[in-house]
Structure 1
Amino acid sequence: MPPQEFSLRLQRGIAGGFAPPTPEAIYTITAAASQPVLQVTAAERPHGTPELQDALPKTLSADSHSSALIDELHAILKTLPTEYPPGSEDIYGLDTSIAFGSADLMWTNGGPSGCGGGSSQTQATDDDKKNFKRAVDIVKELVAKAS
């Protein structure tokens, strides 16, 4: 069963270096026990523009399909490693971070300011990378379903 309350943030564009990364997209999904719907925002930066465009909040029904996707995402994140030290390296190679918080899981990759170079003491296996890609695809599917 997915968590009743959670907050999720996916950022595409986390690889930096000397300068901080420029996000290409930031998606957020939040669920509150008192709300029958999920709150979704999607801010994207059109190619060739310097900043993200503001996104209007949307909602997504917490139906059985959405709940199953969130449950799958939650289960995947519980098994995945994160880089150490935080923000050192994009161990999944997708230039994407996910931050997920609920009562039973706090999971973040990519560090608060993206990945600034260096090496991580923790590395992702091929299976970890495949599962992280699935987690990213789940978030994209949920965002696409919002209206």
Structure 2
Amino acid sequence: MAPQEYSLRIQKGITGGFAPPTPSLIATITRPKNSDSLNIAASKRPDGTPELQSFAPKTLGSDSSTKSAETLIDELHGILKELPTEQPPGSEDIYKLDTSIFWGSDDLQWYNGGPSGVSGQPGSSSVQPTAEQKAQFKRAVEIVDALVDEAK
């Protein structure tokens, strides 16, 4: 069961180098304390455009879509609890999806990719995931994508 209160953020486009990364998607999903609602906000950069465009924030109330969302959140929470992150933080995109996820709750603080993205230098992390862990991270991204689609 996912914690009562949490914050989740996904960013697609985390690999940089000399220049900072150019995100194509940044989305946040939060469940405030003592609330049955999920708050979802997303900004996306359409191909060929220089800036992120925000979608109107959406709140999912206590209906079937929220129950479905909570099932996905529970799955995501379970996956992230088992996955490693790069060491040192921000050193490498170890999952090779150019995507970072941040999860913050009372029982779990998890994020891959540094606050300014990753350097993109293969082999610079002392931690490397297994093929199974890469598949689990891909599933985590699919879950977050499904939740963000609720905001559109």
Q: TM-score range by the shorter chain?
A: over 0.9
Counting aligned pairs with the same residue, the percent is: 61
Distance 1:99 1:81 in 2: 13
Residues 24 and 49 of structure 1, relative CA distance in 2, 3 Å threshold: same
Distance 2:47 2:118 in 1: 21
Counting matched residue pairs gives 147
Q: Please, which runs of 5 or more residues in structure 1 have no aligned partner?
A: none
Task: Work out which of the residue numbers 119, 125, 130 in structure 1 matches 2:130.
Answer: 125
Mapping 1:1-147, distance limit 5 Å: 1-61=1-61, 63-118=66-121, 119-146=124-151
Segments ≥4 residues shifted beyond 6 Å = none
| CA deviations over 1:80-129 (Å, ceiling 9, x no partner) | 00001111100000000000000000000011111013310000110010
Letter in 2 for 1:124: P
Letter in 1 for 2:136: N
Give the Å deviation of 1:56. Answer: 1.8
- TM-score, L = length of structure 2: 0.92
Secondary structure at 2:54 match in 1: coil
Identify which range, 87-96 or 58-67, moves more after superposition.
58-67
Give the Å deviation of 1:61. Answer: 3.3
Identify which range, 48-57 or 73-82, moves more after superposition.
48-57
RMSD of Structure 2 on Structure 1 (CA): 1.2
Q: Please, which runs of 5 or more residues in structure 2 have no aligned partner?
A: none
